[in-house]
């Protein structure tokens, strides 16, 4: 299986407190579940993978391209001299091949349809194509009946499903889901898990899910990673 994403020696700290310590991992295809208690660094790890945040140190390679950071030795970066290697400023083309569904989702104050269409619209897709893809995605997450509702009025389970549809519609090669079922009821958890498993059948995306639910990890994962105190347990 080809390498999709590899991380080497990732370090990250906030206000001098280390959150990720020397994390390295290579992801191929399939569903990965990132387990760990609250505060273990799961979200930070996903945000760094999804290029929302820079690591303090380390390398990130996507799709076997040249590393996004030139090889850096630990201790080389001090005093914020990181701008030349700033991952966040890297090309938008790469960023558009991956996406992350945030735990809070972040719905836009507009209809469910327009929320899901956003990613396609900013990519300049044609209107008919947008309509077709959005309708398909909404159908996939069972939200077609709420298509014209204001997204703000959705329940938390529906909001998560909207987040997944919004991410799915852009057909990402890597999809990160940060605690997709943390704030939803049992029924919705089941629906969301079914969506994820169906996604595996229907698309070739690599899916990386952060959760602290052991049973869920067992149900979904091809591979389970455990993060504790900022490092992967071997």
Partner 1 sequence: MQVYSAYIALSRQKPEKFIVKMHSIIEAFIKAFDLIFSFNQELLNIIFLSLKVSGIALLIAAITGLPIGALVGLKRFPLRGVTISLMNTFMGLPPVVVGLFLYLILSRSGPLGFMGLLYTPSAMIIAQTILAFPIVASLSHSAIVNVAPVIKQASMTLGATPFQVTLNMMREARYGIMSGVIAAFGRVMAEVGAILIVGGNIAGYTRVMTTTIALETDKGNFELAIALGIILLMISLIINMVLHLIQRKGMVKSGI
Please state the closest distance from residue 119 (CB atom) to partner 1, in A.
4
In the complex, minimum distance from the CB of residue 97 to partner 1, in angstroms, rounded to a whole number = 9
What residue ranges bind partner 1 (CB under 8 A)? Answer: 50, 52, 92, 95-96, 99-102, 104-110, 118-119, 122-123, 150, 152-153, 166-167, 170
If the CB atoms of residues 205 and 232 are measured against partner 1, the closer one turns out to be: 205
By C-beta, is 72 or 210 nearer to partner 1? Answer: 210
29 CA to centre of own chain: 14
Q: Smallest distance, Å, CB 231 to partner 1?
A: 25
Kindly state the smallest distance separating residue 50's Cβ from partner 1, in Å: 6
Select 152 or 214, whichever has its Cβ closest to partner 1. Answer: 152
Tokens 């700290």 correspond to: 13
Q: Taking the complex as a whole, how short is the minimal distance between the CB of residue 152 and partner 1, in angstroms?
A: 4
How does DSSP assign the chain, residue by residue? ----EEEEEEEEEETTEEEEEEEEEEE-SSEEEEE--TTSSHHHHHHHHTTSS--SEEEEEETT-S-SS----TT---TTTTGGG-GGGS-HHHHTTEEEE-TT----SSBHHHHHHHHHHTTT--HHHHHHHHHHHHHHTT-GGGTTSBGGGS-HHHHHHHHHHHHHTT--SEEEEESTTTTS-HHHHHHHHHHHHHHHHH---EEEEEES-HHHHHHH-SEEEEEETTEE--
For partner 1, give the closer residue by CB, 96 or 212.
Answer: 96
Query: Quick one: 26 or 153, whose CB is closer to partner 1?
Result: 153
- Decide: 207 and 38 in contact? Cβ < 8 Å: no
Least separation, in Å, of the C-beta of 31 and partner 1?
A: 19
Q: What contacts 86, CB < 8 A, 6 or more positions away?
A: 54
| Residue 89 or 228 having the CB closest to partner 1 | 89
Residue closer to partner 1, measured from CB, 96 or 147: 96
Return the closest-CA partner of residue 63 out of 186, 215, 204: 204
CB of 89 to partner 1, least distance (A): 9
What is the C-alpha to C-alpha distance for residues 208 and 34, in angstroms, rounded to an integer? 7
């Amino acid at each position: 299986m080809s390498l999709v994403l590899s991380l080497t020696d990732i370090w990250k700290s906030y206000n001098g407190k280390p959150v990720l310590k020397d994390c390295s991992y290579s992801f191929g295809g399939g569903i990965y579940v990132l387990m760990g208690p609250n505060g273990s660094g799961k979200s930070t790890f996903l945000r760094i993978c999804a290029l929302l945040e820079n690591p303090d140190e380390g390398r990130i390679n996507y799709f076997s391209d040249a590393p996004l950071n030139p090889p850096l030795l630990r201790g080389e970066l001090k005093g914020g001299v990181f701008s030349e290697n700033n991952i966040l400023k890297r090309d938008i083309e790469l960023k558009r091949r991956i996406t992350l569904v945030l735990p809070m989702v972040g719905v836009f104050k507009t209809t469910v349809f327009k929320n899901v269409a956003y990613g396609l619209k900013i990519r300049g897709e044609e209107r008919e194509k947008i309509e077709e893809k959005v309708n398909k995605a909404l159908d996939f997450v069972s939200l077609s009946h709420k298509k014209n509702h204001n997204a703000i009025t959705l329940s938390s389970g529906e909001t998560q499903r909207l987040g997944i549809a919004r991410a799915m519609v852009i057909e990402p090669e890597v999809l990160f889901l940060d605690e997709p079922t943390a704030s939803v009821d049992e029924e919705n958890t089941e629906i969301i898990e079914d969506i994820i498993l169906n996604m595996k059948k229907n698309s070739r995306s690599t899916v990386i899910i952060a959760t602290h639910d052991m049973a869920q990890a067992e149900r979904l994962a091809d591979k389970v990673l455990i993060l504790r105190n900022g490092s992967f347990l071997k």
